[in-house]
Structure 1
Amino acid sequence: MRRRRPAADPGMLLVRSVCHELRPPMATLAGLLRALENAPAEPRRSELARLAAEHVAYAEAVLGQASDTVLGLGDRAVPAAPLGSILPAVAVTAPAGELEVSASRAALRWPVHPQRTQQILINLVSNAVRHAPGPVRLRAAVRARRVRIAVIDHGRPTPVLHAALQRRTPPPDDRGLGLWVVRELITELGGEVRARQLTPAGLAMEATMPRYRSG
């Protein structure tokens, strides 16, 4: 007789998720601070400081979401922001020269939930950089009244990836946790995420989301 797996502890899942989501911004923030220590000339110094502040704000938003969950509070009202305003902070999470970003004008203006969309894209880009060799591309365009964002790398779909996108409960360990979080966030925003094998090789993680309306 097979033993039933114990139900996931909500408190432990929250801790795991927060720790997982804080890794990319903390690593990026450390890199930005090291770059600032080299005393770059203006305007590069101002740009690095701005990006560092954005990642601090992102980390605060992750902790704020966790706090609201613990206290049983509803989602805080967050003003919509254009997709283009969060792309620089997403791009800097990848090592220099490893991420190419391209977005149509309509996509750059598309209103999104800033914190959650940033969290989704940071997860997808971080996964691509960590698990696939070679450069990564981020493409965004508007189709059929939805923004469509693809993170493209030279990897391929794996059982862990498919499981993370299909399972209803979080994985028992960190394998696939980030993708599971991505799917949950996109679903909350009324969107969808899928993995698509490219020809002759490559993997595209595609997220589609409707226009975000705050309040």
Structure 2
Amino acid sequence: ARSGGALFLVDAAQTAGHLPLNMAALPVDLVACPGHKGLLGPLGTGLLCLRAGIEERLQPVRQGGTGSHSEDIQQPRSLPDRYESGNHNAPGLFGLEAALEWLSGQGVKQVAAREQELTARLLDGLSSLRNIRIAGPADAEQQVAVVSISAIGFEPQELASILDESFEIETRAGLHCAPGAHRAAGTFDKGGTVRLSCGPFTTEQQIEAVIAALADITD
């Protein structure tokens, strides 16, 4: 793609914060990710990282209101003002900064190792349930700490509602903003899947509670 002049963007929505990410070591031009998932920041925050030298190829979609060059009707050439018009989500950005400082202090590699242990435990438990189907690899080393499942006899939204109302377990049901991925996985026509995510604050007891709840619901 790059040899033909195209820019290569990586969507790191489910990897940033869960896995070490060194943009300089990857053959990519841009990395985009939300701040509220693995980076642990508030909703309404996000990042777009650019490889040095490509900024002239990216035209701002909005003009004016930078606060730093108010006399100009067009965006300044300097970064990050070039791509940031209007008022920023200051509370959200302060929250994201605090989250990134915490992650840096813990070490993303250490967080990733811990999440992999929890994910392996979750996958082992899910694999033992006869009416649960795992969408994707059942090996924690082949994925991040996000596991999608379906249950025989249950719509995804129905299963998520039971987990929420009867067991106080929060999940995410549906197509997860990725209809193409669900078509490829064969889960699109079924309404998607139920997504379970492990984070740095997840405990072994919570993993066991999820497995026990799913066993109670589906067996």
State the TM-score, normalized to the length of structure 1.
0.25
Structure having the higher helix fraction is 1
Structure with max Cα Rg = 2
Higher relative CO (Cα under 8 Å, sequence separation at least 6) belongs to: 1
